[in-house]
């Protein structure tokens, strides 16, 4: 899929403030520093699009970006869709009450957003499965919310690590799951995984 247009729509503190559910939507989520902003910028081919999500005060907000215009372009047959940047979780510094608030808002968003076709669950390819990530994926599974697993920062792995990280991750995850979700292996620096993710979104858009 070609990205012809990218537009920041709005930041919302609460799901009820989010834009109309009139097109396919994909939510990007992961622990802070996982590389979420970098991956979003790499995907849409803009260097600073997701910066807005990291400006102080906006980090706990749901940020909507309209991709490929507001209306279907019949000639090009492109479907407009929303890319949604959800607040990162797992900050060491965050207070318990803030964490609980984040969880409540995210759950309300994920469970109420009828146009949400898939959640992009980002994990750092250099780290072993993190408890908070496994718990979050368990929640998605139990709630029946489709998700894919997106490994970030693979350019930071050497050849041996690159050959081993996925199997190691799967060995842990398969204690909890019967099968793995779709997996994407990405580098915001090298562009790995861009084509694959955009093709996945293009195909999934047709389900809407
Ligand atoms: N080498 C490398 N560094 C990355 C990659 N993605 C993100 N980073 C770095 O990891 C740090 C956190 O990235 P950022 O996108 O801000 O993470 P966020 O907090 O999840 O939005 C920054 O220093 C990025 O430059 C990647 O694919 N490769
Ligand atoms: Mg960020």
Residue nearest to atom 28 of ligand 1 (CA): 153
Distance CA 43, CA 45 (A): 6
pLDDT of the residue at 48: 67
Q: Is residue 200 part of a domain?
A: yes
CATH number of the domain that residue 90 is part of: 3.40.50.300
pLDDT at 7 over 80: yes
Q: Is residue 44 part of a domain?
A: yes
Over 79-128, what HEC string results?
CCEEEEECCCECCCCCCHHHHHHHHHHHHHHHHHCCCEEEEEEEEECCCC
Q: Which domain holds residue 172?
A: 6-205
Q: Is residue 122 part of a domain?
A: yes
The pLDDT of 10-39, averaged and rounded, is 94
Instruction: Choose one of 44, 53, 188, 194 to mutate for the ligand 1 pocket test, by most ligand atoms within 8 angstroms of C-beta.
Output: 188
Residue nearest to atom 19 of ligand 1 (CA): 33
pLDDT of the residue at 60: 78
pLDDT digits (tens, 9 = 90+) for 66-101: 999 866 666 666 799 999 999 877 655 667 887 788
Question: What SS3 state is found at 203?
Answer: helix
pLDDT digits (tens, 9 = 90+) for 97-137: 877 888 889 999 999 999 999 999 999 999 999 999 999 99
Residue nearest to atom 10 of ligand 1 (CA): 35
Q: Is residue 1 part of a domain?
A: no
Cα–ligand 1 centroid distance for 83 (angstroms)? 18
Q: Which residues, 6+ apart, have CB-to-CB distance to 5 below 8 Å?
A: 66, 67, 68, 69
Cα–ligand 1 centroid distance for 67 (angstroms)? 22
Cα–ligand 2 centroid distance for 88 (angstroms)? 7
When pLDDT is cut at 50, 70 and 90, the band that residue 46 belongs to is confident
Q: Is residue 149 part of a domain?
A: yes
Distance CA 52, CA 123 (A): 21
Quote the number of domains for the chain.
Answer: 1
Cα–ligand 2 centroid distance for 77 (angstroms)? 31
pLDDT of the residue at 93: 65
Q: Is residue 199 part of a domain?
A: yes
Cα–ligand 1 centroid distance for 187 (angstroms)? 9
pLDDT of the residue at 69: 84
Residue nearest to atom 26 of ligand 1 (CA): 153
Query: Which residues form ligand 1's pocket by a CB distance below 6 Å?
Result: 30, 32-38, 88, 152-153, 155-156, 187-189
The pLDDT of 26-31, averaged and rounded, is 95
Over 1-38, what HEC string results?
CCCCCEEEEEEECCHHHCCCCCCCEEEEEEECCCCHHH
């Amino acid at each position: 899929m070609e990205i012809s247009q990218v537009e920041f729509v709005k930041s919302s503190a609460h799901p009820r403030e989010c834009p109309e559910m009139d097109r396919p939507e994909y939510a990007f989520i992961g622990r802070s520093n996982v590389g979420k902003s970098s991956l979003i910028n790499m995907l849409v081919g803009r260097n600073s699009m997701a910066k807005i999500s990291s400006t102080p005060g906006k980090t706990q907000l749901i940020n909507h970006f309209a991709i490929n215009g507001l209306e279907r372009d019949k000639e090009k047959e492109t479907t407009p869709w929303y890319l949604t940047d959800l607040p990162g979780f797992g900050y060491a510094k965050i207070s318990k009450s803030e964490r609980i608030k984040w969880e409540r808002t995210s759950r309300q968003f994920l469970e109420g957003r009828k146009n949400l076709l898939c959640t992009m669950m980002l994990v750092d390819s250099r780290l072993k499965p993190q408890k908070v990530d496994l718990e979050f994926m368990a929640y998605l599974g139990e709630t029946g919310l489709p998700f894919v697993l997106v490994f970030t920062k693979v350019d930071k792995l050497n050849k041996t690590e690159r050959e081993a990280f996925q199997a190691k991750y799967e060995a842990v995850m398969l204690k909890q799951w019967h099968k793995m979700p779709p997996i994407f292996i990405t580098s915001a620096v090298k562009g790995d995984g861009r084509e694959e993710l955009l093709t996945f979104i293009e195909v999934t858009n047709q389900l809407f």
